[in-house]
């Protein structure tokens, strides 16, 4: 198996970007951004770039603000250990910013995220090696590359959000956080998904050797 896992709202209980935008972003972001985003009219990297662009606070300041409010979902360390024991490659695939993914994740965890550089304010983009086809979703692009790197392995995707739907359509198995937007979207689109509240349930459902 090949395990891909979203970060915000999946590995973490909270969404780091939402916390940052609520405190440092433009006050109207929820009203202006969420309707076109949920309607699929704006690709996630674009909206991340647009709504981080007014923010000038340093990564250190943003992390000092966000860290105390963010907790990792139960069972995450055990999930990593189960993947290692079973020889399953594990990758975090996120449209969050590279510096906060790096800060929250254990150093041995490989992740794919958006590149963010502070040049007066935050400039956010997909990393330079990413060459999306027109309309292609970033997380799906990551999955495509991992399938080449690890052929013949069924892909398991674990997530929670609107931006997880395209990759959920392509994975062989999907886990959705119980009560999440992804859980509802999978039900609406006829995608089989197993709901979970903590990663111990995922480990058990995957039949990981202990
Ligand atoms: Mg998420």
CATH of the domain at 64: 3.40.50.1000
Tokens 């009560």 belong to: 179
Interval between CA 160 and ligand 1 midpoint (Å): 5
Please tell me the total count of domains within the chain: 1
How far does CA 185 lie from the centroid of its chain? 16
Interval between CA 5 and ligand 1 midpoint (Å): 9
Rounded to whole angstroms, how far apart are CA atoms 58 and 64? 10
Interval between CA 153 and ligand 1 midpoint (Å): 24
Q: What secondary structure letter does DSSP report for 158?
A: E
Residue 79 is encoded by which pair of tokens? 């999930």
Cβ pair 174, 186 in contact under 8 A:
yes
**CA separation, residue 52 to residues 10, 39, 210 (Å):** 21, 21, 42
**Range of the structural domain that residue 57 is part of:** 2-206
Interval between CA 14 and ligand 1 midpoint (Å): 9
Q: How high is the pLDDT of residue 209?
A: 67
Interval between CA 162 and ligand 1 midpoint (Å): 8
Question: For the whole model, what pTM was predicted?
Answer: 0.95
Residues of the chain with pLDDT under 70: 209-210
Rounded to whole angstroms, how far apart are CA atoms 44 and 102? 20
Interval between CA 182 and ligand 1 midpoint (Å): 9
Hey, CA dihedral for 71, 77, 79, 84, is it positive or negative?
Answer: positive
Interval between CA 7 and ligand 1 midpoint (Å): 6
Interval between CA 6 and ligand 1 midpoint (Å): 6
């Amino acid at each position: 198996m090949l395990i891909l896992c979203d970060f915000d709202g999946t590995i973490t209980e909270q969404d780091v970007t939402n916390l940052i935008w609520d405190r440092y972003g433009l006050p109207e972001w929820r009203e202006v951004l969420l309707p076109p985003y949920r309607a699929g009219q704006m690709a996630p990297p674009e909206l991340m770039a647009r709504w981080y662009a007014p923010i000038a606070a340093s990564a250190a300041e943003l992390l000092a603000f966000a860290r105390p409010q963010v907790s990792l979902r139960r069972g995450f360390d055990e999930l990593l250990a189960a993947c290692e024991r079973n020889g399953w490659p594990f990758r975090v695939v996120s449209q969050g910013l590279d510096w906060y993914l790096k800060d929250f994740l254990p150093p041995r965890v490989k992740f794919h995220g958006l590149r963010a550089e502070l040049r007066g304010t935050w400039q956010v983009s997909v990393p330079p090696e990413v060459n999306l086809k027109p309309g292609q979703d970033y997380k799906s692009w990551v999955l495509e590359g991992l399938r080449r790197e690890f052929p013949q392995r069924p892909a398991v995707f674990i997530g929670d959000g609107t931006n997880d739907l395209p990759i959920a359509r392509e994975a062989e198995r999907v886990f959705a956080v119980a009560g999440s937007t992804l859980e509802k979207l999978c039900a609406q689109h006829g995608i089989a998904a197993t709901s979970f509240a903590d990663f111990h349930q995922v480990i058990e459902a995957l039949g990981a050797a202990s």
